[in-house]
Each structure stands twice: as C-alpha cells, then as structure tokens.
C-alpha cells in the first residue's frame, strides 16, 4: 500500500506545520532519507528528527539544514506521543512519518526503496541532498595517527550498529589498514573523520554499511570493492536491500 500526503490540496497557505520522523537508526538510513526530508521541508514543514544517542553528536554537528531539527530520542519534541508508532498521523498542521516501518506499507519493495515508495517521493541521487560540515583538522589527525601516507588500502569488515564482522582478507605489497571501531573509540575518532583517508586510498574494500554512503559521495577516483552485508557463514543477499541506492560508477560488487 502506497501513501503520500496530498499537500497541494490539503495544506496550502497553512503555517506552523510540524513533521516528526521515525527513523532513528542506522547512519546509512539517516543519510539515505535526506531527499525525503528535503521534500517534506519544501512542503512547508518544520521537521524534527530524533536519532539514537550514538549518532546525535555527529549528525547534529555535521548535517545542518534550515527547518531540520536533530534531537535525541530521550528529548522532548513535538508530536512525541506518536513517536515509535507504525501508523501515520496527519492533520492540517501535523505530520508523523514512521519511515522505519515503510516496508510494512510496501512489502513488495526492498527496505531502502520502500521509504521512497511509502511517500511517493521519486528515487533520486541522495548524495545531492546532504553535505557535511567537514572537520579537516580531525581528518588529517586520523591519517597521521594511523600512518596513512603514500599508497595504502583501507579495509572495513564491520557492519551494523553492534559491529558484526565479515572476513575480508587482502594480500598486497602496499600498506593495508583494517578499520577498527574500538581503536577509533580509543583515539576519539568517528566515522566522518575518515573522509580524507578514504578519498586518498588507492583501494577500499568494505562490507555494505553506512561507510559506503560516504565512499559513494566522496571517493570518485578510487578502486572500490563492496561486499555483501552478511557474515561469512550467512547466505548471499544478492544486494537486494540496496538496489538503486549507490550511484558511484567505481563500485565493484563482490560476492
């Protein structure tokens, strides 16, 4: 079942419209739905977007848009009584959109694409709907800390908020750096600090995860290898959940 607010008929010339989004996890999803957020803002809404504590500091500091308000799930915010519900709420001045449950409304669609069909928003290049307020000092510090100079390969085998692992072994004559979440935490780095290192890597090998959205946008001249989001013992996914998502032509999709 598709669904779309008919703003052109119902909502014209009404001010003080408020929209609440339910899509608190994960970071890739938050980035992926930014064209949807832009569409809602263009329809005249002030958007409140609660995210998990693990993401709040980085998204609120790095992704800034007029009429987009990042909040923690534990904060007070408009329409909170609807938050977490699977049901859409709409009135003349209120809109609650449970994007996390979009695949229940469009069960024949993949999870990521369902978020667009759910609202009848055209699927487009999501990379044009977010820009990061980059901290080049932190990015450079990460490269120096990990010795990422000259030619090097970056490997990421972690995926999911709770960091599941897939075996990715690279045999190369040049430096191979395996990303390590615990190491980053110890050194007080986060995912956006990796952009410069990714841009300058000779090759990147990564399981399909939120990191791929940054690579997709910023790594235009690299050799890029993506691996299915699964552990080595799990069956193939055939990238079904990310059809029509990534736009960088340099991706090589590994089994």
Number of domains forming the structure of the chain: 2
pLDDT of 72-83, one tens digit each?
999 999 999 999
Co-location of 108 and 201 in the same domain: no
Co-location of 159 and 106 in the same domain: no
203 in a domain, yes or no?
Answer: yes
144 in a domain, yes or no?
Answer: yes
Co-location of 46 and 94 in the same domain: yes
184 in a domain, yes or no?
Answer: yes
Enter the tokens of residue 185.
Answer: 């935490």
Co-location of 101 and 156 in the same domain: no
Which residues form the domain of 201?
136-253
Co-location of 22 and 86 in the same domain: yes
Co-location of 26 and 90 in the same domain: yes
Beta-strand pair 89-90/94-97: antiparallel
b vs e for 198-225, b when ≥16 Cβ sit within 10 Å of the residue's Cβ? bbbbebbbbbbbbbbbbbbbbbeebebb
CA gap 49, 130 in Å, rounded: 15
pLDDT of 97-152, one tens digit each?
999 999 999 999 999 999 999 999 999 999 999 999 999 999 999 999 999 999 99
Q: Of 124, 149, 165, which one is at a domain's C-terminal end? A: 124
Q: What is the pLDDT of residue 11?
A: 45
Phi, psi of 69 (to 5 degrees): -115, 110
pLDDT of 31-64, one tens digit each?
999 999 999 999 999 999 999 999 999 999 999 9
Co-location of 219 and 163 in the same domain: yes
Q: Of 99, 124, 149, which one is at a domain's C-terminal end? A: 124
Co-location of 160 and 231 in the same domain: yes
129 in a domain, yes or no?
Answer: no
76 in a domain, yes or no?
Answer: yes
Co-location of 101 and 150 in the same domain: no
Co-location of 74 and 175 in the same domain: no
Identify which of 124, 185, 161 has the alpha carbon closest to the alpha carbon of residue 27: 161
Q: How many CA atoms lie within 13 A of 116 on its CB side?
A: 20
Enter the tokens of residue 255.
Answer: 């089994």
pLDDT of 160-207, one tens digit each?
766 778 889 999 999 999 999 999 999 999 999 999 999 999 999 999
CA gap 246, 216 in Å, rounded: 6
pLDDT of 227-238, one tens digit each?
998 877 888 888
130 in a domain, yes or no?
Answer: no
Q: Of 82, 104, 124, which one is at a domain's C-terminal end? A: 124
114 in a domain, yes or no?
Answer: yes
CA gap 52, 58 in Å, rounded: 11
Co-location of 51 and 26 in the same domain: yes
131 in a domain, yes or no?
Answer: no
Co-location of 33 and 83 in the same domain: yes
Dihedral sign, CA of 127, 128, 129, 130? Answer: positive
């Amino acid at each position: 079942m598709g669904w779309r607010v008919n703003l052109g008929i119902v909502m014209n010339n009404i001010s003080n419209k408020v929209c609440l989004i339910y899509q608190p996890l994960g970071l890739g999803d938050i980035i992926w739905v930014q064209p949807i957020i832009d569409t809602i803002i263009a329809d005249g809404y002030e958007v409140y977007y609660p995210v998990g504590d693990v993401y709040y500091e980085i998204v609120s500091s790095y992704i800034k848009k007029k009429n987009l308000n990042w909040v923690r799930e534990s904060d007070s915010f408009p329409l909170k009584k609807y938050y977490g519900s699977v049901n859409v709420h709409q009135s003349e001045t209120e809109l609650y959109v449970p994007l996390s449950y979009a695949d229940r409304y469009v069960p024949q669609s993949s999870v990521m694409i369902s978020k667009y069909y759910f609202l009848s928003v055209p699927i487009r290049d999501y990379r044009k709907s977010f820009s990061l307020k980059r901290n080049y000092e932190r990015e450079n510090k990460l490269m120096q800390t990990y010795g990422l100079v000259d030619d090097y390969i970056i490997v990421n085998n972690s995926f999911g908020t709770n960091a599941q692992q897939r075996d990715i072994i690279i045999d190369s004559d040049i430096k191979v750096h395996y990303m390590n979440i615990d190491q980053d935490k110890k050194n007080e780095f986060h995912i956006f600090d990796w952009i410069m290192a990714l841009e300058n890597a000779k090759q990147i090998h990564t399981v399909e995860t939120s990191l791929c959205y940054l690579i997709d946008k910023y790594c235009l001249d690299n050799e890029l290898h993506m691996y299915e989001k699964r552990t080595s013992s799990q069956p193939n996914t055939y990238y079904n959940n990310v059809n029509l998502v990534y736009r960088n032509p340099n991706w090589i999709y590994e089994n």
